[in-house]
Structure 1
Amino acid sequence: MPELLPRARASSESIFSQMSRLALQHGAVNLGQGFPSDAPPAFLLDAARGALGRWDQYAPPAGLPILRDAIGTDLGVDGADVVVTSGATEALNVLALSLYGPGDEVLMLEPVFDVYLPQARLSGARPVTVPMRLDDVSGWTLDMDALQAAVTPQTRAILLNSPFNPTGTVFTPAECAELVALARAHDLWIISDEVYDELYFGDKPTSFRTLAPERTFTVGSAGKRLEATGWRVGWIACPPGLAPMLAAIRQNGSFCAPTPFQVAVAAALPLARESGFYEGLRAGYGQRMSLLASGLRQLGATVFVPSGTYFLTARHPHWTADTLVRQAGVAVIPGAAFYAQHAAPDGLLRLAFCKSQPEIERALDSLSRYAVQTPA
């Protein structure tokens, strides 16, 4: 019998699916996988109900024009330069297939979101990670000197994530300018994963496309913005003139994102902006983040407060993700899951606060009881 290729046989269940499965198995509160507990906003659900039965057939591979235009208006770009994808994961994969291949290198920061590495390898390229610095006082910081030193003649692109999952970092305008200068000096593409662009807790993040529109591909997600991660509607805002080529690549994959959901998102994006939905989302998540951070500190954890996303990272000298889900009844993601080429900081965990306040309170109560049962 023929055998599967090594890349297929090497694939395994992701840590996110694994922890969600263990959470169900042990009746644990799931602060691991980043899906919200809240329902999507009513205006999005109403728009979807109106689209079903009317918009049920294939959409163009580049996306419905009404959605491309709505995204373009929201981002301040031409809708003709937008490609709609089946979620941000597909957007990132389309870019990996389009921008680099065998013999190329792709720079990315570590801790690194899990799909970045295999997507680069499946394209034939070599991912090169540069670790963020972590200090108990100053938290996560960018090591610009190390990033510059990692560039080689084979470097083709730099993949950035701001707000940054899992660290919660939002790069400052000065850091963004330095990163753009690096890309221009070495003629690199910039892939800017901005799925959390509306989830920030301070100044609005700088988008790399505003600094280097000629070389930046911006990845976005309706699922993250509108609390509907299962709808699988994402996008790529491309440098002028390149969208048709990316659309041609993606037509050989999923072909198109779900048509009725595209219609719903097209209607919802301006309503979310006009109604103050994003401001309410940030306020609600900010409260939950503060609740979780305060509770973790009381239990002896060092907490690195995020500037964006709906995740926070923390270190605890006596906790591991495996024992927490099995014995404490709380599922989290081990920091080591985000490291492949460098050692993860000891005791690092990632926790999601996109859950309801009662769930976060129940998780903290479970962790408190666990701490009493297992004193240091």
Structure 2
Amino acid sequence: MADSATVPAAIVARAPKALLHDHLDGGLRPQTIIELAGESGYDGLPATDADELGAWFRDSADSGSLVRYLETFSHTVAVMQTPDQLRRVARECALDLAADGVVYAESRFAPELHVEGGLSLPEVVEAVLAGLREGEAEAAAAGTPIRMVSLLTAMRHAAKSDEIAQLAIRYRDQGVGGFDIAGAEAGFPPSRHLSAFEYLRRENAHFTIHAGEAFGLPSIWEAIQWCGADRLGHGVRIVDDITSEGDTHTLGRLAAYVRDRRIPLEMCPTSNLQTGAAESIAEHPITLLKDLRFRVTINTDNRLMSGTSMSREMQLLVDDAGWTLDDLRWATINAMKSAFIPFDERLAIIERVVKPGYAALSAAT
């Protein structure tokens, strides 16, 4: 087994990666924001230098408050209101992820946030899907192939979840892999959107729910037992149902259920530090949950706001929490097993890309 000391940054950068939880409006390039703002006449940016703007996003998001963290999105959403803007952002998302070694990614976005310029919800979805396809084609031509899938997100404080769920079904054969709800958890339980989840289940569709990030076990319980989520967005607070005494860990009934059912946890370490859901990478619950063999996955959440990438998230776990190359491989396979694409496609990426890629890296160390 590879030791954590034998996983230098060069190896982590080359590792095949699978990403389940990444927000399209949280991953823009700072320079792109500046250029799109100039073209559209948006004058609300706090900085017009790319380095300064990137630092502003990271500093503003690093507040310890989920609500404050979410406020930074007003600037990115402002420059994602036309087909050309959406296509460019989606294309660059695919290219940036592919350049980081990501071989499979699900990019989620809320169509209802991109209609201020007069677009219809279907037009928003079609523009994003077109951009992702363009990015895939360019990445493949550059020798860094990536499979991109989109998730349609409904805002939990709004009342469009039924419409967004129907949109996810309408476009599921054109690149939409599933559905999600996001936004501030407190006061907006997932059960408010129960009709959307019931509709998706009737349509044999996949969905994940942001739960257990800023709010605790009740949010996770509702997402799973009431709404029927296939995966948990974050789910970090499941540790509140685990009692630890030394090396002995006792799981409560909800935690045991999540582990027994192999419910995937879309964990985002750096983001959790920013929103106050964890104190440090070394103490982040992801490592305990890995050791207890929950179905843990590693994710970026919002690359711009967190100043991060999949390589960075993995390297932090190696450097600060003692993860090994085998651990990274295990979490990557977990993500592929949990992906919202057909089983044969998941298996092909695991067997033809992930396993050979990690085998080559292991031999190199």
TM-score above 0.5, yes or no: no
TM-score (norm 1): 0.30
Relative contact order, higher structure (CA 8 A, sep 6+): 1
Question: Could you say which structure has the higher helix fraction?
Answer: 2
TM-score (norm 2): 0.31
**Rg larger in structure:** 1
